[in-house]
Structure 1
């Protein structure tokens, strides 16, 4: 009888270790995009989903950013005056953790993370590696000197490639060049004339760049 008890004793321990391993694997956050490039003053959607083991109740869900900890705790961006009026949580307390940030500026270029807490004090999760957000602006580049008869290429540039690519629209003297709509960020003017001179700008997703003046000699 004693021998059988000694042989059976380790089995519950092995069983508990197996349960713990399966349970731990259920914690996680998955982001649709790990890097997002957005235009200044646009709205950014950071899509994500999260999982956790059954038996836990979600108490709080929020987004945070680098530097993450303030006094040992992760700050909730919805309570930050710089974000509270622009941040909208589109998710829930089940699986969806998507958030939208409106009217972004270059100061919003950070690493962002989703975090959730449960009804068990030490059972909380921070979704690393997170989402890297870079906010950029559009700028038109052109040759310094243009002579009548030249072929001129204007380029709509940004510090990063916008995640949501769309059709570029070009403007001359604030009027759209309706024939110049392309997914390419370049505007080619062949055999320019003096009438082609003016202020050129480009737009993407309705966001227009500062205009540059093209002078044809």
Structure 2
């Protein structure tokens, strides 16, 4: 009995109770990847003996192991429910079982391991989820790769637009759109076997996972065979065509009337 009591004291002093399966924190099994400048949601759930009505969660904490040397006990928490400080780290969970963390305006420095810790109103009842969850922040890039032609893009040239994020994720999806209209294609590569002037426009690649998304845009301007884009005719051509059309509308009925 004395040895068991001593073991319980040691576990309590460590700040991590493991003597009961009712206590725990669950994170995603794999690292979470996200795009710099965007937001990410880190799913998280926690448990404690809810059968005991005397136990109430009084404080929720998230720590970055970049600033905590091996233990989530230092005061430099990225989130602390006891503080009103506003930051990029927002707790969107509850006091029962959800400990989800939302991070805005992601930076490379946010990459690392994160752990959730909760404290109850019972002096010896507190728990830290160890090991935590790993976040990796990367850049999203859209590259233009010429397959034929050089210099200014012209009709008949071929190229690929490639969407690249430096990570691999089983739930990754790539969605392409042109001028804010979604294209019927998927995958990280958008292929143009032979460009036309109608391919000119702004293209956006959106990268999505279950936890986050990010996008990057690139513009294409394709010249016609004469160096003119018929979708953007000079004003003088539009004026001449309009005047000619008005003349035809007015003149032809007048000629028919005079012949009568």
How does the TM-score come out when normalised to structure 2? 0.59
Residue 109 of structure 2 aligns to a residue whose secondary structure is helix
Matched with 1:117 is 119
**CA offsets 1:127-178 (integer angstroms, 9 cap, x no match):** 122221122222122335632645422210011246764452244xxx34x4
Tell me which residue corresponds to 1:4. none
- Structure 1's 64 and 185: CA in aligned 2 closer, same or farther, altered over 3 A? same
For structure 2, which runs of at least 5 residues remain unmatched after alignment? 9-16, 150-154, 224-260
Correspondent of 2:187 among 170, 181, 184:
184
**Largest Rg, 1 or 2:** 2
In the TM superposition, what is the alpha-carbon distance from 1:117 to its structure 2 partner?
A: 1.6
- SS of the residue corresponding to residue 103 of structure 1 reads coil
Deviates more, 1:35-44 or 1:117-126: 117-126
Structure 1 gap ranges (5+): 1-12
Q: 1:159 aligns with which of 152, 162, 166?
A: 166
5 Å-filtered alignment, 1:1-217, equals 24-32=20-28, 34-53=30-49, 54=52, 55-67=54-66, 69=68, 73=74, 75-78=76-79, 84-144=86-146, 146-147=148-149, 149=156, 151-161=158-168, 165-171=172-178, 175-176=179-180, 178=181, 180-193=183-196, 202-204=205-207, 207-209=214-216, 211=218
User: How far did residue 191 of structure 1 move?
Assistant: 2.1
The RMSD of aligned alpha carbons is 3.8
Runs of 4+, deviation exceeding 6 Å:
212-216
Residue 198 (structure 1) shift: 7.6
- Structure 2 CA distance for aligned equivalents of residues 182 and 145 of structure 1: 20
Stretch moving more, 186-195 or 46-55: 186-195
Q: Within 2, Cα distance between the matches of 1:66 and 1:212?
A: 40
Between the two proteins, the alignment pairs up a number of residues equal to 196
1:78 is paired with a residue of what secondary structure?
strand
- Contact kept in structure 1, 2:195 and 2:222, CA below 8 Å: no
TM-score between both structures, scaled by the size of structure 1? 0.69
Helix, strand or coil at the partner of 1:182: strand
CA contact (8 A) 1:66 1:112 kept: yes
1:104 to 1:28, Cα distance in 2 relative to 1, 3 A: same
